[in-house]
A and B are shown apart, each in its own frame.
Chain A
Amino acid sequence: MSGWQESAITLAVFLPLLGAVVIAVMPKSADRLVRILGLVFTGAALVVATIMIFDFQFGAHDGLQYELDVSWISAIGARYHVGIDGISLPLFYLTFVLTFLCAVYTYRILPNPGRPKAFLALMLLLETGMAGTFIAFDLILFFVFFELVLVPMYFLIAVWGSANREYAAIKFFLYTLFGSVFMLLGFLAMFFKSEPHTFDILELQEFAMGGGFTHSIQLLIFAGVFLGFAIKVPMWPFHTWLPDAHTEAPTVGSVLLAGILLKLGTYGFVRIALPILPDAAETWAPIIGVLAVIAIVYASLACLAQRDLKRLIAFSSVGHMGFVMLGIATLTPIGINAAIFGMVAHGVITGMLFFEVGSIYDRYHTRQIAEIGGGMLQKVPALAGIFAFTAIASLGLPGLAGFIGEFMALLSAYSPAPMLSETLFRVLMVFGGIGTILTAGYFLWTLQRVNLGTLPDRWKEASLRDVTRVEWLAWAPLLVAILALGVFPRLILGTTQEAVEGILRVFGG
């Protein structure tokens, strides 16, 4: 390993792991030091990732940058093959940004039972897993990173969660693991059915371009891989772990869960399922589209029924990921670009929403909408204002981040790839459109019940702090990003175009 180009990714991905180790050996009493170390390591990784962006060749056609391909487990032909392209880059960078902001947030705010050392070490481990997934170009490596994420998240939920945390943590762990098993089977099938046997994603793509697997085998493999990714996304009807996990997870856990973890699934579809299994993707696309739209409508209806603010946001994630999956299901450049944009936008917006709900809970010690009872704009105007801003971004207002992804996903559903049924996807578009109305409905209703109205008597005397300095620090970048992504969609779309076209080339586009 020599040279910046080869080592940059490895450096960025494993710096947090190093940080986790360093923090783990710190004495238990060094509370402040541990938190500073958390900042230092996530910050250092962020700096590396930022420098990588400046070195990134944006105009370059598809193909990896910062590529490194060395032997890893030679016995099974698994290689340490990492690299970055336009699809990975936004998500990769988002990982570092969000984790750093979480570290900033954790500098002051940590849920019971405290123990910053364990918390930050797990968070850093999580960061390595998340970032690694986005840059792995070997199926085994991908799988390892993909699964590595589970363990720290399990502990984050199970230890620092709220009342029903153990149930939620176990459910999260087992459900995703259940899917992963089938995914792994799919990967193994890819290895054994490809000529020559390989785990390399790029080589498998090449293989698919030159004919690839037979259709029936593709269908089987896709089914397995689908289950793994669909649970992670989560797609309807595999979403039920999500509201529980989100509701019980600590704030930072929710932020990372919504911000990054869900994208591992959608990213998997774009990176692995579509380009390697194009025929099966065509067959499966209508099903994915239908499930996606069911998720959109279903989740917004479920949101209307929620009494718990955090659970509501969790359900809204299901709906937003529905738009992302709808974009992917169209198999068009517009759809997939929209999906990637949607992933980043959702990561920023919903991450922000979870931060806010966490802070609201910090003040009110309840997440029940009825108990908060309105009037938040009177009591804590800045917090309420930010909440309104983010909620409005989430309901898809143009000029803010949420809009482009939804609009373009629906646009792509209007004219899906030629081999797909236009009629079906237009029907899906209509229902997606109805979903946007419902989405606006539940967000505005929530704002009305939480933000507006007069303050209930029980909060009149309570001393509730408005947004604190550390919260401003952690949130400001996200708020700026929400606006910036909406005004300059090129920030994302400028990087993804070529890579998406590369992915779709296998469909003969």
Chain B
Amino acid sequence: MVGAQEVTGAIADPGLTSLAWIVVLLPLVSFFLITFFGKRLPAGGAWIGIGAMALCLAISLGILLHFVQGGEASEASVSWFRIGPLEFELGQLVDGLTAVMLVVVTLVSLCVQVYSLGYMHGDARFTWFYAVLSLFTGAMLDVVVANNLFQLLVGWELMGISSYLLIGHWWEEKENSNAAIKAFITTRVGDVPFMFGIFVLTVAAGTSNIGRISEVAETGEASTLLITAGALLLFGGAIGKSAQVPLHVWLPDAMAGPTPVSALIHAATMVAAGVYLVGRMFTVFVHAGDVALDTVAIVASVTMLIAALLAMIQDDIKRVLAYSTVSQLAYMVAGLSLGEAGYTPGLFHLFTHAFFKALLFLAAGSVIHAAHTNNMSEMGGLRKMMPLTFVTFSIGSAALSGIPPLAGFWSKDEIISTAFREGNYFVWAIALVTAILTAFYMMRVVLLTFFGAYRGHGHPHESPPSMTGPLALLAGLSVVVGFLGAPQLNAVFADWVHFGEEAHAEPFSYGFAAVSIIGALLGLLVGYRLYRGWRERDPVRRLGPFYTLLERKYYLDDVYLKGIVRPLQYPIPRAVDWTNQRVLDGAVNAAAWATKKLSLGVDVVDKRAVDGAVNGVAFGAGATGGLLRYIQSGNVQRYAVFLFVGVAILAIAITRF
């Protein structure tokens, strides 16, 4: 169906860009192949998924090459279906952003799939796991490639269900399936506004084509009010998927899934989709009223800070990383909220973050795989037992903390400096504070996990090559990808991903860089001082009541659970059911009862009155007869008396009248 595409944008040499749809299709095909045939294949069909993903990566690199060489964006589509006046298409919009994301997603997914060969070895549902990984990646790729919002929504929701399936992969434990449901429902809460946003923009533009919608927003064909509403509603979707306040609660719980899944969710798919959406629909946000980007900025700033604070106190290594993801996503969103200037920095951070966050998760998975626990209080001293994991994890941590020249430094610094330059000191201040906190908690994780004495039981050892291989690859990338955005090296990333016609890289300011670096070092230093030696009582507990507040996750989960979920789960449905049975159905049954009673009444009336009249006549005659019969005594003399009396009366009557 897609094969019969017609290229709508006339481009001289599309290169491999016209093959983008294959990148989407391959994982989906692989999903079906693994689902139906995986169990009969060696290695449970995992190689289908890995092979498909490798092919996807190759094509994606080819597409990226097109843009490296300065190629043009292209769009192609085929009609999908028509409903009323609306035409929906299946299409691909391939520009620099798409190309970059394609590479990120396929690369991370490939790493995760290779890694899972070791991590998931011997799992009861190994094959199914690989099938869903393929589906998950395919869905994300669809979001990346889609040239219209409807197709994007399809991928978006498929990702939701894949995350549900993967987070709940070990569904024997109720905790895991709870987390899966929570993830799905929470993101769905965001998806509904997203869907409404699609309505608003689709109706305004008469199509869900992203290019056309951007055009409408740009030229002012639709009122600013509409565009603002559309932007805010779309952002609702991003809030859900990218785990921003107040819908961030699902992401830490999503740690219930296998660790490779966490890596995939946190780096390449799912949470990246929300940021990507804002980037993709950036024209709409830019041309909406100020309130749109202001809202985005506030949400991002709040999320950034509160998530970083939460990350400080976690004992579960994966939860630290989860909250750090929330915080870093907020960084990206905050970058985008700065307007046109923040477009490239925000998305650059999305790009770099994918590598080191995938790395961190996979390394954490390696640790968990070895130590058989998620809790850092039961780890310690793993540096010597698993050196490769230690090195790669440290690289990831440094990158995340923003230590130059690793990837995180370049992208974070760009956001912070852009915030200052754009005069958004609020975002700037919070981003800086968050940077300090980030460095602090990553230091804490590294020290607690890899230094000191081993506090667990058992004998952890280094993971197999299928797991360490991807770690090494990602570590290497985490070191180098930052240079793509380094102004000293022409900031090539900005050539690929930029808003508007021309790329305009911000000049590098050593002053701002120094501030960022000092912030990061400050965080590291505080972390080092506090966690240099193991203490039974975690130093962060000294925060007192604030610690409790953080431990209770600002009571947000409690509010949601007790304020919304439980009432919706038990009392309200019961009340509705009661109403249904007693009131509505009661009315029906009452009507039936009344009819029945009425018919009984009618029956009574019929028997007593109508038939009664008939019987009454008969009975009356009988009764009269019964009375009269007493006269008929059989005594002739009495008859004679009557005769006589009668005659006498007659005689009197006749003679008198």
Could you list which residues of chain A lie within 8 angstroms of chain B, going by C-beta atoms? 171, 174-175, 237, 239-241, 298, 301-306, 332-334, 337-338, 375, 377-378, 392, 397-399, 403, 407-408, 410-412, 414-415, 429-430, 433-434, 436-438, 440-441, 444-445, 448, 451-454, 488-490, 493-494, 497, 500
* B417 interface residue (CB < 8 Å to A): no
Whether A414 and B196, one on each chain, are in contact in the complex, defined by CB atoms closer than 8 angstroms, is yes
A-B contact pairs, 13 of them (CB 8 A): A237-B584, A298-B580, A301-B572, A304-B569, A304-B573, A306-B577, A334-B83, A397-B157, A411-B202, A433-B195, A437-B185, A452-B172, A453-B177
* B164 interface residue (CB < 8 Å to A): yes
Whether A497 and B82, one on each chain, are in contact in the complex, defined by CB atoms closer than 8 angstroms, is yes
* B361 interface residue (CB < 8 Å to A): no
Nearest residue, chain A, Cβ from B571: A305
Whether A392 and B192, one on each chain, are in contact in the complex, defined by CB atoms closer than 8 angstroms, is no
Q: Which residues B61-84 have CB closer than 8 A to chain A?
A: 80-84
Q: Given A240-B584, A241-B588, A415 and B157 touching (CB < 8 A)?
A: no
A437 to B185, CA, bound (A): 7
Whether A430 and B588, one on each chain, are in contact in the complex, defined by CB atoms closer than 8 angstroms, is no
Whether B199 and A454, one on each chain, are in contact in the complex, defined by CB atoms closer than 8 angstroms, is no
Max chain B C-beta neighbours (<10 A), residue from A334, A403, A444, A500:
A444
Chain A residues with CB below 8 A from B172, complex form: 375, 378, 452-454
Chain B residues with CB below 8 A from A497, complex form: 82-84
Whether B81 and A490, one on each chain, are in contact in the complex, defined by CB atoms closer than 8 angstroms, is yes
Q: Given A302-B573, A304-B568, A399 and B154 touching (CB < 8 A)?
A: yes
Whether B171 and A414, one on each chain, are in contact in the complex, defined by CB atoms closer than 8 angstroms, is no
Whether B199 and A437, one on each chain, are in contact in the complex, defined by CB atoms closer than 8 angstroms, is no
A399 to B574, CA, bound (A): 33
Nearest residue, chain B, Cβ from A444: B181
Chain B residues with CB below 8 A from A453, complex form: 171-172, 174, 177
Q: How far is the CB of B546 from chain A (nearest CB, A)?
A: 33
Q: How far is the CB of B152 from chain A (nearest CB, A)?
A: 10
Chain B residues with CB below 8 A from A448, complex form: 171, 174, 177-178, 181
* B16 interface residue (CB < 8 Å to A): no
Q: How far is the CB of A329 from chain B (nearest CB, A)?
A: 15
Chain A residues with CB below 8 A from B104, complex form: none
Nearest residue, chain B, Cβ from A241: B588
* B472 interface residue (CB < 8 Å to A): no
| Top-3 shortest CB links A-B | A333-B84, A305-B573, A304-B573
Q: Which residues B82-97 have CB closer than 8 A to chain A?
A: 82-86
Q: A305-B576, A429-B196 are in contact. List 10 more A-B contacts (CB 8 A).
A: A174-B592, A302-B577, A305-B573, A333-B83, A337-B84, A397-B157, A440-B185, A441-B181, A444-B164, A488-B81
Q: Given A337-B84, A397-B161, A414-B196, A440 and B568 touching (CB < 8 A)?
A: no
* B441 interface residue (CB < 8 Å to A): no
A334 to B569, CA, bound (A): 34
Nearest residue, chain B, Cβ from A492: B81
Whether A171 and B588, one on each chain, are in contact in the complex, defined by CB atoms closer than 8 angstroms, is yes
Whether A452 and B158, one on each chain, are in contact in the complex, defined by CB atoms closer than 8 angstroms, is no
Q: Which residues B192-210 have CB closer than 8 A to chain A?
A: 192-193, 195-196, 199-200, 202-203
A298 to B81, CA, bound (A): 32
Chain B residues with CB below 8 A from A171, complex form: 588, 592
Whether B188 and A377, one on each chain, are in contact in the complex, defined by CB atoms closer than 8 angstroms, is no
Whether A301 and B199, one on each chain, are in contact in the complex, defined by CB atoms closer than 8 angstroms, is no
A408 to B178, CA, bound (A): 30
Whether B576 and A302, one on each chain, are in contact in the complex, defined by CB atoms closer than 8 angstroms, is yes
A63 to B472, CA, bound (A): 67
A399 to B203, CA, bound (A): 22
Whether B158 and A399, one on each chain, are in contact in the complex, defined by CB atoms closer than 8 angstroms, is yes
Q: Which residues B264-310 have CB closer than 8 A to chain A?
A: none
A305 to B80, CA, bound (A): 39
Chain A residues with CB below 8 A from B185, complex form: 437, 440-441, 444
Whether B158 and A337, one on each chain, are in contact in the complex, defined by CB atoms closer than 8 angstroms, is no
A304 to B81, CA, bound (A): 35
Chain B residues with CB below 8 A from A445, complex form: 181, 569
Whether A398 and B574, one on each chain, are in contact in the complex, defined by CB atoms closer than 8 angstroms, is no
Nearest residue, chain B, Cβ from A407: B195
Whether A301 and B576, one on each chain, are in contact in the complex, defined by CB atoms closer than 8 angstroms, is yes
Q: How far is the CB of A230 from chain B (nearest CB, A)?
A: 14
A403 to B158, CA, bound (A): 11
Chain A residues with CB below 8 A from B200, complex form: 414
Q: How far is the CB of A255 from chain B (nearest CB, A)?
A: 23
Whether B203 and A430, one on each chain, are in contact in the complex, defined by CB atoms closer than 8 angstroms, is no
A494 to B199, CA, bound (A): 22
Chain B residues with CB below 8 A from A437, complex form: 185, 188-189, 192
Nearest residue, chain A, Cβ from B181: A444
A494 to B80, CA, bound (A): 11
* B168 interface residue (CB < 8 Å to A): yes
Chain A residues with CB below 8 A from B161, complex form: 392, 397
Whether A429 and B577, one on each chain, are in contact in the complex, defined by CB atoms closer than 8 angstroms, is no
Q: Given A306-B577, A438-B568, A444-B185, A452 and B171 touching (CB < 8 A)?
A: yes
A408 to B174, CA, bound (A): 35
Nearest residue, chain A, Cβ from B155: A398
Whether B86 and A433, one on each chain, are in contact in the complex, defined by CB atoms closer than 8 angstroms, is no
Whether B568 and A429, one on each chain, are in contact in the complex, defined by CB atoms closer than 8 angstroms, is no
Chain A residues with CB below 8 A from B83, complex form: 333-334, 337-338, 408, 489, 493, 497
Q: Which residues B142-159 have CB closer than 8 A to chain A?
A: 153-154, 156-158
CB < 8 Å neighbour of A411 from B156, B192, B199: B199
* B451 interface residue (CB < 8 Å to A): no
CB < 8 Å neighbour of B188 from A237, A239, A429, A436: A436
Chain A residues with CB below 8 A from B86, complex form: 334
Q: Given A407-B195, A433-B195, A497-B82, A305 and B577 touching (CB < 8 A)?
A: yes
Chain B residues with CB below 8 A from A429, complex form: 196, 199
Chain A residues with CB below 8 A from B164, complex form: 444
Whether A493 and B81, one on each chain, are in contact in the complex, defined by CB atoms closer than 8 angstroms, is yes
Chain B residues with CB below 8 A from A304, complex form: 568-569, 572-573
Max chain B C-beta neighbours (<10 A), residue from A239, A302, A451, A454:
A302
A317 to B390, CA, bound (A): 55
Chain A residues with CB below 8 A from B202, complex form: 411
Chain B residues with CB below 8 A from A454, complex form: 172
CB < 8 Å neighbour of A433 from B85, B196, B203: B196
* B184 interface residue (CB < 8 Å to A): yes
